[in-house]
Structure formats: structure tokens, C-alpha cells
Amino acid sequence: MRTALLQSSGRPGSVVGNLEVLDEAAGRAAGAGAGLLVAPEMFLTGYAIGDIARLAEPADGDAADTVADIAGRHGLAIAYGYPERDGEAVFNSAQLVSADGSRLANCRKTHLFGCFERDHFTPGEQPVVQAELGGLRVGIMICYDVEFPENVRAHALAGTDLLLVPTAQMHPFQFVAESMIPVRAFENQLYVAYVNRVGREGEFEFVGLSTLAGPDGVARARAGRDEELLLADVDPARLAASREANPYLNDRRPGLYGSLI
């Protein structure tokens, strides 16, 4: 499945502007043969925009309806980050919609990073969120979540083939994109699509470097530091061959790890 990674911070503070950016990117991605477009963490609103709660919407809100329309018109699935309102709680969420516009999965960030996120969001409680898409089992987590090896291993054990990670990864932690993401893909035998913001927002400087890492630990494609639409293929045959050759998951001895949990 050809996968498009939208490395962009969009138009921070403008949901309408960000939906326009997403629509334009979806058109380009579909024209290049992509079946899936992945946008960064908090793409619909921006990340460092002050009072995030004022722009938060339910998972089935007006913005979600517009994303579903974009997906349907361009004929490709879309995963995107947004602030989700559920009663009084606001979650840092990412949602996946299919090419026909139906909502497939919604993930709430389980590990909040720093005072900024803990001041604005409630942590999610579901570590493994999955959906079937294009013959693949697709999982979702958000930014800091992928830095906890237990999280990604849980996805591997649940059969995730392609892990989508909308992110807002900032300076000076670029080693996560450069080094950790390919290792996560290799040690868990799955593809990881890590999709970042770029540029400065408030006190944060986002570093780009979005990547699609394969189960061989190789970055199949990697962006630079500017806005970019990155395209790469997720190959089920390559994934199956890699899993056959790599013994990590089969050689585990879970009985030795209980005390670590």
C-alpha cells in the first residue's frame, strides 16, 4: 500500500485552513497512487496554540465529517491528529477514516509529554488501537507513546503490520526520528510511519525528519526539515519474509519479564 506522509504544521490555530491543506495534500497523494495519507499530531488545530480546548471537537464532530468528505472525494484513507472533546475531558487524539469516509479507529494518546500536554489533555487508557485497511492490520499511537518499547511490543503481539505515529517531535530530540523509529520497526517486525510537524510554534521547534521505517530497520523514505509530502510503499510480502527470517518475537521468554511489568 502506497503511503503518503504529510510533513507539515499546516495553519496553527485555523481548523478551516488545516482542512484546506489536508484536502490539497490528499489530492496530490491520491494522484501519486497512495491509498493512505497520514498527517501529524494535532494537525487539525495546531499544537502550541494556547487554549486548545476551545477548538476541541468530538470524534464525530464537524471537522471529522469534513475529513471524511475529503477522504471520499479523493478515494484514500486518512489518519490525522486532533484535540478530541468527550464531555469535560480533552484528549490528544488521532483518527483513521477509510477511503469511503467511514471512521475506522480513534486513538487517544496514553503517555503525555511534559507540563504542556499534562496541562491540556487527559491521558488515554487504550494502548492498542487497530483497524483493517488494504489487507493490513493498521495500528495507531501518538508521538511520545512510541518511545515506550512496551507500547510497540503490545502492537506487535496484537498483529499490527503498519503502525501510524502522528507526532510533534521537537528539538533536541531528533534522535528519536533518526535512530529510535527504525529500531522500533526492526525489533517488533512491523512498518512504522512516523509523521512530524515542522518549524516553530510558541516555545517549540519541530524538526521534521518524518520517516517510513521497514521491518528490516531501514528507513524506506525520510523527509528533511521542511514541509514535504513523502511517499513510500508498505509491502506485505517484504513484511512476511522479514518476520520469517527474524526470530525476535518467537524467541521471547515472557516468563522472565513479569517482574518488569
Quote the pLDDT of residue 259.
Answer: 80
pLDDT, residue 184, reads 98
- Catalytic positions, please? 41, 109, 143
Measured distance between the N- and C-terminal CA atoms of the chain, rounded to whole angstroms: 35
Q: Answer positive or negative: Cα dihedral of 8, 150, 214, 220.
A: positive
Q: Are 236 and 136 in contact (CB under 8 A)?
A: yes
Give the CB-side neighbour count of residue 60, counting CA atoms within 13 A.
3
Q: For residue 96, which amino acid is it? A: L
Distance CA 253, CA 250 (A): 9
**Given the DSSP bridges, would you call strands 2-7 and 36-38 parallel, antiparallel or unpaired?**
parallel
List domains and CATH numbers for the chain: 2-260 (3.60.110.10)
Instruction: Quickly count: other Cβ atoms within 10 Å of residue 251's Cβ.
Output: 7
Distance CA 109, CA 131 (A): 17
- Shortest CA distance to 178 belongs to which of 219, 216, 137, 148? 219
Contact present, 243 and 235 (Cβ < 8 Å):
no
Q: Residue 64 — φ and ψ, nearest 5°?
A: -60, -40
Task: Supply the pLDDT for residue 122.
Answer: 98
**Cell triple for residue 129?**
488501537
Rounded-to-integer distance, Cα 111 and Cα 67, Å: 26
Task: Tell me, rounded to whole angstroms, the distance of Cα 33 from its chain centroid.
Answer: 20
Residue-level pLDDT, tens digit, the chain, 261 residues: 999 999 999 999 999 999 999 999 999 999 999 999 999 999 999 999 988 999 999 999 999 999 999 999 999 999 999 999 999 999 999 999 999 999 999 999 999 999 999 999 999 999 999 999 999 999 999 999 999 999 999 999 999 999 999 999 999 999 999 999 999 999 999 999 999 999 999 899 999 999 999 999 999 999 999 999 999 999 999 999 999 999 989 999 988 987 876
Angle at which helix 15-31 crosses helix 62-74, to 10 degrees, equals 20
Angle at 116 between CA 114 and CA 121, to 5 degrees: 100
Using CA atoms, how far apart are residues 164 and 173, in angstroms rounded to an integer? 19
